[in-house]
Amino acid sequence: MQAKIMLLPSSSKGKTLCSYAEELFLEISASFGHSLNTVREKIGEDSIRLFDVPLTQETLDACKKCHAVFLADADCEGSRALYQSMGIPLRLRSYVIPQSLANGAISARQMYLCQVTSLEQESLFLAVRQALQFASGQELPFCHVAPTGNSRFQWEAHVKENIKKYPSLSFTALSAADAVRRIIETPYNIGVMLCPPYAGGILESAADSLFPFPGIQYDFCLQEGTGIYAPRLSCDANAMPEPFGAAYAVAAMLRNSLHMNREAACLEAAIENVLVSGWRTPGMPSPGQATDGSHIIQLICEQLAVAGEFLHKGSGH
């Protein structure tokens, strides 16, 4: 497969994360016989420094010509401009804890917080449809927090219309207070939670405070055309960029935007193998052998190379 991927770093931390992603794309290309080509443009503070705006029209146009965007923006100003300019209806935030990081006090879990970006009718309809499709595809329960005011009826109508297509999907309607309580008390069985723009910040704060591994979080969208995948960047100026979040974001891109399910599964298995082997970054509050981000990416690439060789032999070539 041939694909063009945009790398959008902001600041030195963003550049490091984009370099991690670029190494993974190169290894996936070499190990599985693809051509995943990357290009770079500026966003956020780097773009403001040169062009006085967080996102130029030239960068936006270049993004739209790519299959997917890997976004590493620390100050979020460029991120907001990109999501708005591309008309993204829904932003998903991963709160997944893999089995390798679970212990007696922490349960393995799959939780995704889906924030609608606009309550305008067409955008809202797309957001509800995308969230339900994602929940069904992941075989996860679905819950939603309806907005207050005039938008509530329209929201509930869209949910009711779309939920009919997924009769086997577990479905719950929550108030904002109930949603926060559920995140705090039972985060392991939430699945996919859909919320309006104003509630997103409240629910994210609740989830962030309980999530012990911020370095593996990432945001993404399911935009038809060009998807956006963004590993989380810490607000702590002394925190180093985390390679696991970058790797998980790349895996999500492979599956959702490039439709490379086999390669995505191999990358996720490679990440899991590295974690199971005890490798950690200094910023991860979990026992293990600490090393730097570049070494983590190298270890993941070695696992990918082994998987590619195995699949190559299995195909008889």
Is residue 101 included in any domain, yes or no? no
Q: What's the pTM value of the predicted model, to 2 decimals?
A: 0.93
Domain enclosing residue 143, as ranges: 107-211
User: Using CA atoms, how far apart are residues 191 and 95, in angstroms rounded to an integer?
Assistant: 10
pLDDT score recorded for residue 285: 75
Same domain, 286 and 198: no
* Domain final residue pick, 151, 185, 211: 211
* Domain final residue pick, 211, 241, 271: 211
Same domain, 316 and 303: yes
Is residue 24 included in any domain, yes or no? yes
Is residue 100 included in any domain, yes or no? no
Is residue 127 included in any domain, yes or no? yes
Is residue 305 included in any domain, yes or no? yes
Q: Across the strands, what pairs with 73?
A: 10
Could you tell me whether strands 90-94 and 218-220 are parallel, antiparallel, or unpaired per DSSP bridges? antiparallel
pLDDT score recorded for residue 82: 94
CA 207 to chain centre: 15
Same domain, 116 and 247: no
Could you tell me whether strands 142-145 and 191-195 are parallel, antiparallel, or unpaired per DSSP bridges? parallel
pLDDT score recorded for residue 168: 92
Same domain, 74 and 117: no
Q: Tokens 């991963």 belong to which residue?
A: 94
Same domain, 273 and 234: yes
Same domain, 41 and 173: no
**Ranges of the chain whose pLDDT falls below 50:** none
Is residue 132 included in any domain, yes or no? yes
> By the 8 A CB rule, do 256 and 222 touch?
yes
User: Using CA atoms, how far apart are residues 296 and 57, in angstroms rounded to an integer?
Assistant: 35
CA 282 to chain centre: 22
pLDDT score recorded for residue 35: 97
Q: What is the CATH number of the domain that holds 15?
A: 3.40.718.10
Closest CA to 276 of 244, 254, 306, 245: 244
Same domain, 16 and 89: yes
User: Using CA atoms, how far apart are residues 78 and 163, in angstroms rounded to an integer?
Assistant: 34
Q: For residue 175, give Cα distances in angstroms to 114, 132, 172, 180, 257.
A: 15, 18, 10, 9, 32
Is residue 102 included in any domain, yes or no? no
Q: What is the CATH number of the domain that holds 153?
A: 3.40.1010
| Number of domains forming the structure of the chain | 2
Same domain, 85 and 228: yes
Same domain, 144 and 244: no
* Domain final residue pick, 192, 211, 230: 211
Same domain, 273 and 200: no
Amino acid at 32: F
pLDDT score recorded for residue 201: 87
pLDDT score recorded for residue 209: 86
Is residue 315 included in any domain, yes or no? yes
Same domain, 164 and 221: no
Same domain, 54 and 200: no
> By the 8 A CB rule, do 135 and 192 touch?
yes
